[in-house]
Amino acid sequence: DAACLPFPDASFDAAHISRVLIHVEDPNAVLHEMKRVTRPGGWIVAVEPDFLGMRIDHSDPETSHALVRAFCSGFRHPGMGLELWRRFSEVGLVERELRVVTEIDAAYTEDVATYTRQTVDRAVALGFLSPQQARVAIEYLDHAGALDRYATYSSLFVAAGRVAPER
């Protein structure tokens, strides 16, 4: 349980978490716990995506938006990356830093195609796309992939902050 770590206070020089806060019920509880087990002056680093800012190139912007919404529905906190700056402040970390890494995927591999189909199925199940719109979306993306015209991106935020030194 990331919100209840089995270590004494100030056990570590640093703590790191990656792509976890998007899934947990209470991200700040996890960050507080990381702070508790990190010594004063130690660093805490979190790497989280901002899936709410994700884009999928599709000729129909509404279909693209529906696919991103369907993808995001699988996460408790799909916009966590952008939230890290605020959350690090809320838990009292100092000397905060924030960087963004953009991941671009332009290879429509079989794995990507399979995952895309699952996302399209979720969009239909959630009522974001009709079955007809879903079929057209898959045809478009399969065709774009075959012509090397498929592209999507999302951003990862890397946040760092120090546990305040004792006074």
Q: What is the mean pLDDT of residues 44-50?
A: 98
pLDDT tens per residue, range 52-68: 999 999 999 999 999 99
pTM reported for the whole predicted model: 0.90
Segments of 57-151 assigned E as strands:
94-105
The mean per-residue pLDDT over the stretch 13-39 comes to: 98
Rounded to the nearest 5 degrees, what angle is found at the Cα of 16, between the Cα atoms of 10 and 17? 125
How does strand 152-162 pair with strand 38-56?
Answer: antiparallel
Residue-wise pLDDT tens digits, 114-123: 999 999 999 9
Q: What are the two backbone dihedrals, phi and then psi, of residue 44, each rounded to the nearest 5 degrees? A: -120, 130
